[in-house]
């Protein structure tokens, strides 16, 4: 189960809307071991593509170092699908490299309603989990 504040949920959806029709990507950092997402970190999609996303490698190093210094970890790793459902693609599954993270997918294919879903992806296995939005 992913517990996430309304503000962080909305920040992810807003970012996905803003970058549509390209995929948006980023993460939520939280204190190590708490499983609590606290800090919104939108990332550049270095691929600038409607069908692919990739963090910029130098931005990633900077952000990962910053998390280390603050005793944080990536609690949520998010990206958007802009024409398909919010379900991990084969590529998403093959490249998932953070077994401890919640993988959040947002679909912006519907201009009115954003689909917001969360998964664990470990060793090529996908497990969807409930999302609880708290105040």
Partner 1 sequence: MAIEARIPTILRNYTGGEKTVTGEGATLQDLFVDLDSRHEGLRGRLVSEDGSLARFVNIYLNDEDVRFLGGVQTPLTDGDVVTILPAVAGG
Give contact residues for partner 1 (rule: CB under 8 A): 25, 27, 43, 47, 51-55, 57-58, 60-61, 64, 77, 79, 88-92, 95-100
User: What is the Cα–Cα distance from 90 to 113, expressed in whole angstroms?
Assistant: 24
CB 78 within 8 A of CB 25: yes
Closest-CA residue to 103 (of 129, 73, 66, 68): 129
Minimum distance between the CB of residue 99 and partner 1, rounded to whole angstroms? 6
Query: Given the complex with partner 1, which of 5 and 51 has the nearer CB atom?
Result: 51
Query: Given the complex with partner 1, which of 77 and 114 has the nearer CB atom?
Result: 77
User: What is the Cα–Cα distance from 7 to 57, expressed in whole angstroms?
Assistant: 27
Query: Given the complex with partner 1, which of 49 and 132 has the nearer CB atom?
Result: 49
Minimum distance between the CB of residue 107 and partner 1, rounded to whole angstroms? 13
Minimum distance between the CB of residue 15 and partner 1, rounded to whole angstroms? 15
What is the DSSP pairing of strand 25-31 with strand 39-43? Answer: antiparallel
């Amino acid at each position: 189960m992913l517990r996430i504040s309304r503000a962080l949920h909305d920040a992810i959806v807003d970012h996905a809307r803003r970058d549509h029709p390209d995929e948006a990507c980023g993460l939520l950092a939280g204190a190590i071991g708490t499983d609590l997402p606290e800090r919104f970190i939108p990332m550049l999609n270095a691929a600038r593509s409607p069908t692919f996303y990739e963090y910029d490698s130098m931005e990633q190093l900077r952000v990962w170092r910053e998390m280390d210094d603050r005793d944080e970890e990536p609690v949520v790793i998010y990206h958007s699908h802009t024409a398909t459902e919010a379900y991990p693609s084969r590529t998403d599954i093959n490249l998932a490299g953070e077994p401890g993270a919640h993988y959040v997918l947002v679909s912006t294919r519907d201009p009115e309603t954003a689909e917001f879903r969360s998964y664990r992806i470990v060793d090529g296995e996908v497990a969807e989990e409930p999302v609880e939005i708290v105040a």
